[in-house]
Chain A
Amino acid sequence: MESMGSHREIVDASLAIIPLCPLVGAMVAYIVGQKQKDLAGWIATAASTLAFLFVVKNFFALGTNQVLLDKSFVWLSVGNFSIDFAFQFDHLTAVMCLVVTGIGSLIHLYSVGYMAHDESRPRFFAYLNLFLFSMLLLVLGANLLVLFVGWEGVGLCSYLLIGFWHKNIAFAGAGRKAFVVNRIGDAAFLLAMFLIIMNYGSLDFMALSRVMPGETSEGLATLISVLLFIGATGKSAQIPLFVWLPDAMAGPTPVSALIHAATMVTAGVYLMARLNFLFEMAPLAMLVVCMVAGLTALVAATIALVQNDIKKVLAYSTVSQLGFMFLAAGAGAYWVAIFHLVTHAFFKACLFLGSGSVIHACHHEQDMRHMGGLQRVMPFTAATYWISTLAIAGIFPFAGYFSKHHILSALEHAGAHNPQLFPWGVPLSYIATFAAILTAFYVTRSAAMTFLGSYRGHAHPHESPWQMVVPLVVLAGLALVGGVFLEGALSLQHYLGHAIPVGDVHHGESMASFSFLLNALLHSWPGFLGVGLALFLYTQAKEIPGKIARAFGPFTQVLANKYYVDELYGAIIVRPLEGMARFLWKGADQAVIDGSVNGTAAVVEISGELIRTTSTGQLRHYGFFMFVGTLFIIFFYMAL
């Protein structure tokens, strides 16, 4: 295997400016926002755009076989252990940064429109910029610890933004849930870091990529990888830690688009891509990743089938799509995972923003049963939503097709790459295909229920302002052509090949050839199937879904209730812990521990009182005690 970094040229660059832009933007936006609320959004947008520009600058500055490095300052140095607050910018980072800042800027712009009437919008934009800052730390960090700073930072911003409308305690609770569940993953992440520190004494990516492959036993690598993956399941909403993401829809929709679709939740995928050399050494861990990811993709897709809240559908869709990414990563095709990450960012952001546009239009109505026929009043939104739907459905030539196709083929060939995966690759690809059909189905279902038919709500929908439409259009455009561009023009595989192992780069077929087109259309069959079925059921045979639902009554209930996972966790983890906390307080702490402290005091006091009763005030008694005591002491301590 190619050892990364060893023959890469390290170039000093000032990368710190990239995350600093949104950080400063956050402060300025908040402070200025106190006086000029409207200005806050524009400042934040400008800051993120500026960051985007810096990223673009570095993107072009980055030559092949180069990595840009910015050792800002020594962060922590104890003994021989030293960590710099350092940033690195390689091809992987470049892609991630472009996505983060690019889509981030678009969503900022969108938010200007979306949040135009919110009282606390300076706070919102400050948080949003802060999120960008953290996310940039995450992707730019040159070592695990800086990455971890971003990792936790995005968690915090996610928490703050989910609970943005904190007057609703349920929203605040959703934020807390997100943070806590993320923290569970983070704890595993920490342990993984400790193992790395213990064994290698460094957290630096480049150093690790040099040191690790030679010196690591498979067991250790597996342990670290699994721990890191647990961290990733938290952040990227995989089973078993995916429960927070649907609840996270409590936040404003741009937040869902940016954080819970395009960027933050993909951090886990990025982590795996970044530490590919580690995961490569742990085939067993890869198997675990694949299994979990496949299961997640399937489970989330099934849940999404029956959701009526438009954002919930998209949320479960995100979980499912993240599963796809991890499938790719687990199969060893990191670049495919990144590819899907990017395309997913395009179309899922677009979907979310579209749903936001709809919600905005329907006065914060999120239930699709109260929508319908909206494409007449909101043509732009509808069009972009449909494009993204087709993209996520994986229909050629939309962006989703390419990445999904690569995922499936990577799975099929996974066995060759990783012997542990040998018997599993193909079944996994079947599962993924099935999940893809479901994906196409439920997304189309949501689009159909929202935009087709007749309006079933009571509001007066209208098209959104231009600030919201422009990002929609841009993203839809990316969803439309992004795949072709990345596959062809940029050749993401080749590009990422400068930073991570990508396997054999195929330059063979031209995309323009007829066979390719035919092949591509054929391979789009799951998309067509799902889209077609959904269109049929939700436009032509509207009574059938109800019948199916009734026919599979209990199963539908299970799906509608998300497999009762929340309830399960509540019953086996949260409530027992709460009960234990109360027990420890009342039972252990107050009764036993404090009881024994006070009990000791009481024993002392009571024995004092007992001894005190000898002071009867009676002369005879005193004489008696004196006499007996004297003889006792003389006999037992002196004479005998």
Chain B
Amino acid sequence: MENTSYFLGIFPLLTTMVFLPLVGAILLYLIPGFSGQDEHTRSRVTWFTLGVSGLTFIVSIACLNRFDPSVVTAQLVERTPWIERFGVQYYLGVDGISILLVLLTTFLMPIIVLASHSVKTNLRGYLFHMLVLECAMLGTLLAFDAFLFYVFWEFMLFPMYFIIGIWGGKRRIYATLKFVLYTVVGSLLMLVGLFYVVWAYAAQNGGEITFSLYELSRSVDLSLSEQIWLFAGFALAFGIKVPLFPFHTWLPDAHVEAPTGGSVVLAGVLLKMGLYGYIRYAYPLFPQGAAYFAPVLATLAVIGIVYGALVAWAQEDIKKLVAYSSVSHLGYCVLGFVAFNALSTTGSLYQMLNHGISTGALFLLVGVLYDRRHTREISEYGGLASKVPVFAFLFLVFTLSSIALPLTNGFIGEFLILAGSFQEFPVLTAFAVTGVVLGAVYMLTLYMKTMFGELNEEKNGSLTDVTPREIVTFAPLFVLVFVMGIYPQPFLRLMEPTVHQYIEDVSRKMVKVGSPIEEPADGTSYAQKSGGNAARAQLAFESFNVERVKPVANSPLNFEENL
């Protein structure tokens, strides 16, 4: 393999990034200290993990440094055969779609480690699983080989299973089993679908087998009905993870039972993987299937937005409320992505980051409260603003970010998503916009009920404000909320060329000569179009804005040239 030498020739930055946490996790058990319960060991273990995750973050920054936004394909590629006979490769790379999610992951992890002091039992094990989880998440994001992706995808379950199962709340076992089983059902179906694609590819390419995403998506040719079935399988797997309504019920359980760090990483990164799967695999592999299902997905997303918001409103448990708000927020992300134009897709990617930051922060805040009071019942709180002003302030900021107030990060994402998706699904988007109102309703109700009113001295009189350590935890998130809200351009610039090319490539394949779906290719008014069909994304892309973008004639996905 010619690429092997490439692999050896350059410092494998991505591999380092992926496996550094894993190595750290193993080394963690070499730190002396019996059972990790005494304060001294606890701090040593924490500092070590912080160091590892910080180092990983630095490595990811180094990747960012070497990352060229103008290149629209995988960069910093490392590939070497893994299961050679089946064309499975160890194939890592990063592109504009994943770079920011990678950074989000590495960025959140030190914060989670910092916030882990509330873990009272077996801190070492907790941090171990966190590091393993980081490895799995980074691997999932960086894998460009479908099977490697699948392996990392499933690998994410294992540490999360333990994190919820050991350090979770009362119904943790139910929640964690539900989480794992639900995900596994979907993803295994996806695996079968993947095999199908691979063999279809092999049949069309003279028996050559590969699991490489690019090669598969470039040259596998599936009929419409095949695409529909396969996409349905993939969509189910990823939809469960997102979670898309009505596959979301594992999420509140998992969130409520998970320890703070678990919730943060779940909301912050894990949920994104579902949508990332759509972006990276389901759409490029089955563009026509995707076009066929786009209205369904969009409808489910909008239902999720409104439904999640309404159900969140009715919650009595803070964490559950935030969990349902995730359902709603992820609904925006999905809606933005399936609308499939530059605006909405970029917004969707951006919103994924935002959600990771704001909801992650909210979970951290809930964790702060829970550490002090050991309850998450909304009715147990009230009037905290006068007792813990700094906390209330932070809570306010992240609440506002969550309800997408302008100049916070949430607004950028939501605006781009809705503005973009309005062009594809005007009516649905109009419904989705009600989520903007409902979001304010439930979040501000939560805020009012917990922070405002008379302080119940008996219950909350002894509450202490956030410690300096917690402030350090929140500070980066706080800063990012505003940086990303006021000056999003550096972030958008990283992903834009890739997204641009991506949409162009995929939407070109959505309409094919001889496909049963045909629509006149002149779409001047989007509002007139109803329902979903394959042509829409193409049209939307082409005629976005007044001047049309001409499809680049004959441009193959020039992935390999860039390696």
Contact = CB atoms under 8 A, between A and B. Distances in A.
Is there direct touching of A and B in the complex, by C-beta distance under 8 Å? Answer: yes
Interface of A: 73-81, 85, 145, 148-149, 152-153, 156, 159, 163, 166-169, 172-173, 175-176, 179-180, 183-184, 186-187, 190-191, 193-195, 197-198, 200-201, 577-578, 580-582, 584-586, 588-589, 593-594, 597, 601
Given A81-B545, A153-B406, A589-B311, A169 B492 contact: no
B437 A79 contact: no
Contact of B436 (A73, A190, A580, A581): A190
Interface stretch (B44-52, B79-87, B446-454, B461-469): B446-454
B400 interface: yes
A584 B310 contact: yes
B249 A191 contact: no
Contacts of A197: 419, 422-423
B182 interface: yes
A397 to B, nearest CB: 42
Nearest to A79: B342
A73 B496 CA distance: 18
Contacts of B250: 597
B246 interface: yes
Contacts of B311: 581, 584-585, 588-589
Interface string B318-355: 00000000000000000000000011001100000000
Interface in B214-250: 246, 248-250
Given A76-B416, A180-B440, A201 B546 contact: yes
A581 B313 contact: yes
Contacts of A582: 314
A582 B312 CA distance: 9
B158 interface: no
A477 B275 CA distance: 62
Nearest to B350: A78
A201 B543 CA distance: 11
A454 to B, nearest CB: 37
A582 B314 CA distance: 5
Interface stretch (B146-154, B254-262, B427-435): B427-435
Nearest to A74: B489
A183 B436 contact: yes
A79 B545 contact: yes
Given A194-B422, A593-B246, A78 B436 contact: no
Contacts of A194: 418-419, 422-423, 426, 429
A198 B543 CA distance: 10
14 contacts: A73-B489, A74-B489, A76-B416, A79-B346, A167-B386, A167-B454, A183-B436, A191-B429, A191-B430, A578-B314, A581-B311, A584-B314, A585-B311, A593-B248
A79 B452 contact: no
Interface in B369-387: 382-383, 385-386
Contacts of A198: 419, 422-423, 526-527
A159 B549 CA distance: 44
Contact of B546 (A187, A200, A585): A200
Contact of B314 (A167, A183, A195, A581): A581
Interface in B404-428: 405-407, 411-412, 415-416, 418-419, 422-423, 426
B69 interface: no
A333 to B, nearest CB: 31
- Chain A interface main SS type: helix
B488 A76 contact: yes
Contact of A76 (B385, B492, B545, B547): B492
B314 A585 contact: yes
A578 to B, nearest CB: 7
B437 A187 contact: yes
B181 interface: yes
B67 interface: no
Given A156-B405, A191-B433, A79 B448 contact: no
Contacts of B13: none
A80 B249 contact: no
Contacts of B382: 169
Interface in B432-486: 433-434, 436-437, 440-441, 444-445, 448, 451-455, 486
Contact of A80 (B383, B415, B419, B544): B544
A190 B440 contact: no
Contact of A166 (B178, B453, B487): B453
Given A169-B454, A582-B314, 4 more contacts: A79-B500, A167-B386, A169-B382, A581-B310
Contact of A172 (B430, B436, B452): B452
A187 B414 CA distance: 12
Contacts of A152: 405-406, 411
A180 B453 contact: no
In the complex, which of the residues A176, A201, A578 has the most CB atoms of chain B within 10 Å of its own CB atom? A176
Among A153, A195, A589, the most chain B Cβ lie within 10 Å of the Cβ of A589
B343 A78 contact: yes
Given A156-B400, A190-B418, A597-B249, A173 B544 contact: no
B211 interface: no
B315 interface: yes
Given A198-B422, A584-B310, A584-B314, A172 B249 contact: no
Contacts of B416: 76, 78
Contacts of B342: 78-79, 81
B433 A79 contact: no
Contacts of B453: 166-169, 172
Given A176-B445, A200-B546, A585-B311, A78 B405 contact: no
Contacts of B407: 149, 153
Nearest to B383: A167
A193 B451 contact: no
Interface string B37-49: 0000000000000
B286 interface: no
Given A80-B547, A149-B406, A597-B182, A187 B433 contact: yes
Nearest to A201: B545
- Interface pairs A-B: 10 shortest CB-CB: A172-B452, A169-B453, A194-B422, A79-B342, A149-B406, A201-B545, A581-B314, A594-B249, A166-B452, A80-B545
A169 B545 contact: no
A618 B99 CA distance: 62
B307 interface: yes
Contacts of A76: 412, 415-416, 488-489, 492
Contacts of B422: 191, 194-195, 197-198
Given A201-B546, A593-B246, A79 B418 contact: no
Contacts of A584: 307, 310-311, 314
Interface in B104-145: none
A79 B544 contact: yes
Q: Taking each of B181, B248, B249, B411, which has the highest tally of chain A beta carbons within 10 Å of its own beta carbon?
A: B249
A183 B545 contact: no
A453 to B, nearest CB: 37
Contacts of A149: 406-407, 411
A194 B422 CA distance: 6
A193 B385 CA distance: 36
A432 to B, nearest CB: 32
Contacts of B445: 176
B125 to A, nearest CB: 28
A580 to B, nearest CB: 6
A213 to B, nearest CB: 15
A77 B69 CA distance: 15
Contact of B419 (A179, A193, A589): A193
User: Which of A75, A159, A169, A198 has the most chain B CB within a 10 Å cutoff?
Assistant: A198
A577 B310 contact: yes
A13 B454 CA distance: 49
B386 to A, nearest CB: 6
Nearest to A153: B406
A601 B419 CA distance: 40
Nearest to A593: B246
A201 B419 CA distance: 10
Contacts of B249: 589, 593-594, 597
